[in-house]
Amino acid sequence: MRCKRGLSTGAAVPGFFCLLFLLCFAGCASAPAGKNPDADTPGSMSGKTADGESVPLTPSSIGGSSWVGTPLSVPSRDQIRKNDLDSMIMRSLENGSPASLKKVVELVNTDPRGMTDSNRIALSIAGELMKILYPLEPVTWPMPAIPETGAYIGAVKSARMGVYDYNTGGSDFLSRVLPSLVLVLSRSPGDYYADAETALLKAASQNSQSVLPPLFLALLYERQGKTALSEAQYEKAWQTDQSCYPAGVGYSRSLVRRGQSAQALTVARALLASYPSSIEMVKLCAESAFSGQNWESADSYILTVLKAEPDNTRYLLMRARILVERRDYLKANALLDAFATRNRNDKDYLLLRSRVVREWNKNIVGAASFLKDAHSLFPDDIEVMLASAEVCYLSGQAINGFGGRDFVTAVLAKDPSHAAALKLLVTDYLNAEDWDNALRFAVKLDSISQNDESEILLARATLGAGQVQNAVSIAAGLYASGSPSEEIIALYLQTLAASGNSTTLKSIVDTRLPGASSSLKSVLYYYESTIYQDPDQQLSSLRSSLLSDPRNQLSLFAMYEWYFARKDYRKAQYYLKQVIALDPANPSWGKLLSALEELLAR
């Protein structure tokens, strides 16, 4: 709302500065000791004779009838001290943070002049700012009685009524800033936004140490949907004074939106340290940790929130998500059962249910059923589309008439740089052995999100496209950095085998076999089998691989090939069926099995 009342007839607010007096006093420099006071020295004062001639002005010449000039009184030490005190009070009030407002109270309480009109106004405005902007900070000082018609108090009262006050009647800092308190007190849209922005930018140029202009600008831009501008102002206010906790809250949330969750959590923890009893600060920590998938930290904060708010269903689902990530499906399922009594159509509930059914119960059809409901309710939601794509790829079945690639393509139409969607698409093309498309999208993914996962996909696409040495180079870089995962070791061995570098391959196998886990031993034995030309040595290594991990798909398929080459079709069929059981959605296995069964039928 706008407030364009007539000019106030009430008393003006007393000034805190005697600027004209100080400027005049600054020009009244005394002559240096030992110098002739009548000498024409730099900084000396001059006057004019009755004839208009300019001559030096000295104490002895004052009072002569031939001189035109006005002598200035020298302020006392007490007056200088009072002026300095007023200046400090005003500056602290303008700075506007909790720390600076407390400084105002401290300065007023130690003022030997007592409760002057200026001090009453300062205490009152400090109290109003503290109550409106910083409700977590108690107002521990009595609010003095002041004239109700003052411009500053009028601006605060108008803001409380949801009105932007145009009647502050001045161009000083507080007159420009205080009307914007309406942004905190009222959510109603108004036509004052442009005027408020102009006033706040001018105020910011008057006092760059104040948190008020950037804080109000952040709220104003947020109200207008100007997210980037709002985030910049929250950061500016927070960096200016970190006792301004609303700026810290806004800054932490902006960091979460930008994917900088670790930094967001650092800010949130600083705020919680200042306000340990605030459940809102606990929530800020929980959401920052949760967004960064810091499950351990998030869990402790979420449990604190649920202890204070047992019926908070949003945090109940967050807790269930953490349990799913930990594969503690039994507890997660119990929480989801409790949530289902209140709302069975929540998006996060349906997504978590599908994961539990898929990962714990191994029921891909049941998982698809929950996702059908989710997609029907939230057809354009990116999370729902990505989860649906994963299940489509795993099951080889459509969801509501859409296949995996349909969902991924729809996500990329909304966000061409969506890393998770690109990962699914690259994997899709790799499985289809569409090497050109796999490589094209793998390069794009790696340029957007360069990490181990994207590099692994790039190496596989490069290898499939026939660029063997490039694939070896990428895999070698991953293998050499730190402690490589089993997936990276397997990838490096795969590229070495493709390049024919049996010497390096055998060296890695011999080095890593003694301390390897069962799953890694299975991988090492499989790639060892690729070195040998002798069939018996091949078979021996493949058998060792399957003894270490009977579900090693590469070794199972190699056993199928070994027996098929020797026309032992019955044993070949046995191993191929195991491959199909592990990867039922791959149509190429079915074709091989059909051909094999024809041979067996002859």
Q: Which pLDDT tens digit goes with each residue over 239-253?
A: 999 999 999 999 999
**Band of pLDDT at residue 600, cut at 50, 70 and 90:** confident
Q: In this structure, what token pair is assigned to residue 462? A: 């490069």
The pLDDT value recorded for residue 418 is 95
Q: How much helix, strand and coil, in percent to the nearest 5, is found in the chain?
A: 65, 0, 30
Between 449 and 476, the higher pLDDT residue: 476
What ranges do the domains of the chain cover?
A: 1-18+77-207, 211-310, 551-602
**Band of pLDDT at residue 7, cut at 50, 70 and 90:** very low
**Pairwise CA distance, residues 383 & 76, whole Å:** 73
The pLDDT value recorded for residue 53 is 47
Between 109 and 286, the higher pLDDT residue: 286
> Residue 43 — left, alpha, or beta (φ > 0 → left; ψ -120 to 50 → alpha)?
left
Q: What is the mean pLDDT of the chain?
A: 86
**Band of pLDDT at residue 65, cut at 50, 70 and 90:** very low
**Band of pLDDT at residue 121, cut at 50, 70 and 90:** confident
Q: For 187-222, give the secondary structure using H, E and C.
A: CCCCCCHHHHHHHHHHHHHHCCCCCHHHHHHHHHHH
Q: What percentage of the chain has pLDDT greater than the value 90?
A: 71
**Band of pLDDT at residue 150, cut at 50, 70 and 90:** low
Q: What percentage of the chain has pLDDT greater than the value 70?
A: 85
Contact at 8 Å (CB) between 208 and 191?
no
**Band of pLDDT at residue 55, cut at 50, 70 and 90:** very low
Work out the average pLDDT over 438-465. Answer: 95
Work out the average pLDDT over 443-460. Answer: 94
Decide if pLDDT at 163 tops 80: yes
Residue range 512-555, pLDDT digits in tens: 999 999 999 999 999 999 999 999 999 999 999 999 999 999 99
Decide if pLDDT at 12 tops 90: no
Q: What SS3 state is found at 3?
A: strand
Contact at 8 Å (CB) between 279 and 308?
yes
**Pairwise CA distance, residues 527 & 511, whole Å:** 14
Q: In this structure, what token pair is assigned to residue 231? A: 């985030």
Work out the average pLDDT over 318-325. Answer: 97
Sign of dihedral through CA atoms 130, 135, 139, 140? negative
Work out the average pLDDT over 259-269. Answer: 96
The pLDDT value recorded for residue 72 is 52
The pLDDT value recorded for residue 46 is 43
Decide if pLDDT at 2 tops 80: no
Decide if pLDDT at 17 tops 80: no
The pLDDT value recorded for residue 28 is 39
The pLDDT value recorded for residue 8 is 38
Residue range 18-36, pLDDT digits in tens: 333 333 334 433 334 344 4
Of 11-20, 167-176, 375-384, 387-396, the one with minimum mean pLDDT is: 11-20
- Superfamily (CATH) of domain 211-310: Tetratricopeptide repeat domain (1.25.40.10)
**Band of pLDDT at residue 169, cut at 50, 70 and 90:** low
